[in-house]
């Protein structure tokens, strides 16, 4: 086997791996602070991509860097609205089933809205993050590099937020014990709204970054959304470093698997891993016990 081919596969797998890692972080922070799995998270990513590409770039013709900022602001507001209108009420329900159904139907509503506003025809943003460059024998696409760099920046920023700032510390308090957090004068609901808004921002970032990889349509994020779920379990459910490890290992393994199995079936790798991990090591690769 040619070593260069393997390295090439690892590099492109790494970029997708970071995408999965971000996806799994984005839903893990919501899960940690509300106890709800956001089953509409792939629709959040889809909305992010549509707001950026459909609204700002194609309809309004804004410069890309400005569009990125505008999308992030829009998604922040979107996150707050969804949190106030849907997640906070659902969090207080007696049974988590209703909450899960709530998020499933929220996803449907978002898909329908996107279809009605921007149309169902798939489209692309021509020339956005296109191009490649070479390091030795290995060809790296520009988008892979940008995904890796941006993901590391997002992860660092999130880490800084959670560890160093007052808001982030409050978020971690809310994750651990809502009663105690409330007694210490933290406004639990506002804090959760903020967490969901941050999650929505990460979704927007993912949505923008995957535009060059896929065509923009209503199911742009279904696959990465599902693999993000798998990544979370593989690394260790509800544990942020686990999410990163899980995401990257899925991304790389999936790409390497194309050496052995037909490319069509590479999407099955993530779920196969998920079931194997549940059977032999339910606490995940990092073995973190919550």
Partner 1 sequence: MKHKNWNIVKRIGITLFILILCIFPLVDTNSYHHIILNQTLVNVVVVLGLNFITGLTGQMNLGTAGIMAFGAYSSALVSTKLGFPVLVGLLVAIVIGYLLGRVLGFPSLRLKGVYLSLTTIGFSEITRLIITNWTTLTGGTMGLQNIPSISLFGYVLDSSTKVYYFYLFIVIVLCFTASRIIKSKWGRVFKAIRDNIDAVEASGIDVAKTKILAFTLATILGCLGGAMYAHMMNYVNPTTFTQDLSANFLAMMMLGGIGTVPGNIIGSSMVTILPELLRFLENYYWLIFSIIALLFAIFLPNGIVSLFTGDRRLGRFWITKTKKGESSHE
Query: Which residues lie near partner 1 (CB under 8 A)?
Result: 37, 39, 86, 89-90, 92-102, 104-109, 112-113, 116, 178-179, 182-183, 187-190, 222-223, 226, 229-230, 233, 237, 264-265, 267-268, 270-271, 274-275, 278-279, 282
Instruction: Give CA–CA dist 42/65, Å, rounded.
Output: 23
Name the residue nearer to partner 1 (CB basis): 67 or 220. Answer: 220
Name the residue nearer to partner 1 (CB basis): 178 or 202. Answer: 178
- Shortest approach of partner 1 to residue 237 CB, angstroms? 7
Residue 153's alpha-carbon distances to 168, 171, 208, 264, 274, in angstroms, are: 17, 20, 15, 32, 27
Instruction: Give CA–CA dist 276/155, Å, rounded.
Output: 28
Is-contact 285 265, C-beta < 8 A? no
- Shortest approach of partner 1 to residue 20 CB, angstroms? 13
Name the residue nearer to partner 1 (CB basis): 31 or 128. Answer: 31
- Number of alpha carbons in the 13 Å side-chain half-sphere of residue 112: 6
Is-contact 188 182, C-beta < 8 A? yes
Name the residue nearer to partner 1 (CB basis): 37 or 203. Answer: 37
Is-contact 51 108, C-beta < 8 A? no
Instruction: Give CA–CA dist 13/15, Å, rounded.
Output: 5
- Shortest approach of partner 1 to residue 243 CB, angstroms? 13
Name the residue nearer to partner 1 (CB basis): 117 or 135. Answer: 117
- Shortest approach of partner 1 to residue 226 CB, angstroms? 6
- Shortest approach of partner 1 to residue 107 CB, angstroms? 8
- Shortest approach of partner 1 to residue 104 CB, angstroms? 5
Name the residue nearer to partner 1 (CB basis): 108 or 163. Answer: 108
CB neighbours (10 Å) of residue 127?
Answer: 9
**Beta strands 138-141 and 132-135, pairing class:** antiparallel
Residue 280's alpha-carbon distances to 104, 213, 232, 274, in angstroms, are: 30, 34, 16, 10
């Amino acid at each position: 086997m040619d070593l260069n081919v393997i390295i090439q596969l690892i590099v492109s797998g790494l970029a997708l791996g970071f995408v999965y890692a971000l996806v799994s972080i984005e839903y893990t922070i919501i899960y940690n602070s509300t106890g709800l799995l956001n089953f509409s998270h792939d629709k959040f990513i889809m909305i992010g991509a549509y707001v950026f590409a459909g609204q700002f770039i194609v309809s309004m013709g804004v410069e890309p860097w400005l569009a990125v900022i505008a999308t992030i602001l829009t998604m922040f507001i979107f996150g707050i609205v969804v949190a106030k209108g849907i997640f906070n009420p659902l969090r207080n329900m007696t049974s988590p089933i209703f909450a899960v159904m709530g998020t499933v139907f929220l996803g449907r509503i978002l898909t329908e809205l996107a279809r009605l506003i921007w149309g169902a025809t798939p489209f692309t943003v021509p020339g956005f993050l296109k191009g490649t460059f070479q390091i030795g024998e290995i060809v790296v696409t520009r988008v892979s590099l940008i995904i890796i760099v941006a993901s590391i920046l997002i992860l660092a920023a999130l880490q800084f937020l959670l560890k160093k700032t007052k808001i982030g510390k409050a978020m971690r308090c809310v994750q651990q014990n809502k009663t105690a957090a409330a007694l210490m004068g933290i406004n639990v609901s506002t804090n959760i709204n903020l967490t969901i808004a941050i999650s929505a921002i990460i979704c927007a970032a993912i949505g923008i970054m995957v535009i060059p990889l896929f065509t923009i349509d209503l199911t742009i994020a279904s696959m990465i959304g599902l693999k993000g779920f798998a990544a979370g379990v593989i690394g260790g459910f509800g544990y942020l470093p686990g999410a990163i490890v899980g995401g990257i290992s899925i991304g790389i393994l999936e790409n390497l698997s194309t050496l052995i199995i037909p490319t069509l079936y590479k999407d099955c790798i993530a779920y196969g891993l998920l079931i194997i991990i549940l059977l032999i090591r339910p606490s995940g690769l990092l073995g973190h016990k919550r």
